[in-house]
Amino acid sequence: MLLLATTWVTVTYGGAPKPDSETATAPVAQFLARQHGVPPHRATRRLVASGGSQSGWMQVATVYSPHAGFHYEVTDEGGSSYVRTKVLRALLESERQLIGKGESARSAFVAANYTFGSVGHDPSGLATVLLSPRRKDPELVAGTLFLQPDTGDIVRLEGQLARSPSFWIKRVNIVRTYERVGGVVLPVLLESQAELRMFGRATLRMTYDYAEIDGRAVTAARQALAAY
């Protein structure tokens, strides 16, 4: 469970990349050009994790700025104390440390980390882009980006970790959903599922509800995904 929690903890906190010859086709070029890093924000996250016979949840107030880094405060929690301590708090603390060390760019959607394949479309009309990691790294995902075809805004990422973080984990599947909130495209939902040798399936779900972005209050707080 701890390995599942700490394999995918970062948002794209890096700066804007420059499209190259491999990524210069729309809407991929639009997607890359529109990335400017995550703005300062305040949010509430709800985290739920389960594995084996144990499960736990946590409500957390978070604050991020490029200068001060990432900070969090647990406001409510329940379920297994082991899951809360060893999984959920471990996830948050790992994110705080990665951002503080400036290492989160290792997982950013940039040409240094990924090649972007041919563009297709799904039944709903979203552009689908094959995402191929340039290295076998458990912080990278091999899968598909779903983009708005006219703007390049990311809607969803689906895939598997490029490399298993441990012999004990056979596979880690990731789904991350994004929305435009306060004029900025930000993650609103993370779902992760791992197949663990001898222990079966472990799951992690995290929702984001933004209250303030770049010093401006978010007038329409997102409640649907935060509710269970």
Tens digit of each residue's pLDDT (9 = 90 or more) over 130-183? 999 999 887 889 999 999 999 999 999 999 988 876 666 778 899 999 999 988
Q: Which residue has the higher pLDDT, 189 or 36?
A: 189
Q: What is the 3-state secondary structure (H, E, C) of 25-63?
A: CCCHHHHHHCCCCCCCEEEEEEEEEEECCEEEEEEEEEE
Report the distance separating Cα 190 and Cα 3, nearest Å.
16
Q: What is the mean pLDDT of residues 212-224?
A: 74
Count of CA atoms in the C-beta half-sphere (13 A) of 87: 26
pLDDT digits (tens, 9 = 90+) for 83-93: 999 889 988 99
Residue 204 in this model has a pLDDT that exceeds 70: yes
Q: Which residue has the higher pLDDT, 170 or 47?
A: 47
Q: What is the mean pLDDT of residues 92-114?
A: 81
User: With left for phi above 0 and alpha for psi between -120 and 50, is residue 69 left, alpha or beta?
Assistant: left
DSSP count for the chain of H helices, then E strands: 4, 11
The pLDDT of residue 199: 66
CA distances (Å), origin 184, targets 98, 154, 194, 216: 23, 11, 30, 12
The pLDDT of residue 2: 45
Query: What is the domain partition of the chain in residue ranges?
Result: 2-214
**pTM of the full predicted structure?**
0.83
Q: How confident is the model at residue 105 (pLDDT cuts 50, 70, 90)?
A: low
CATH architecture classification, 2-214: Clam (2.50)
Looking at the chain, the whole-number percentage of residues with pLDDT higher than 70 is 80
pLDDT-wise least confident of 15-24, 121-130, 160-169, 207-216: 15-24
What sign has the CA pseudo-torsion 11, 16, 18, 23? positive
Residues sharing a CB contact under 8 Å with residue 220, sequence separation 6 or more, in sequence order: none
CA distances (Å), origin 20, targets 29, 94, 112, 116: 9, 32, 10, 11
Per DSSP bridges, beta strands 169-181 and 154-161 are antiparallel
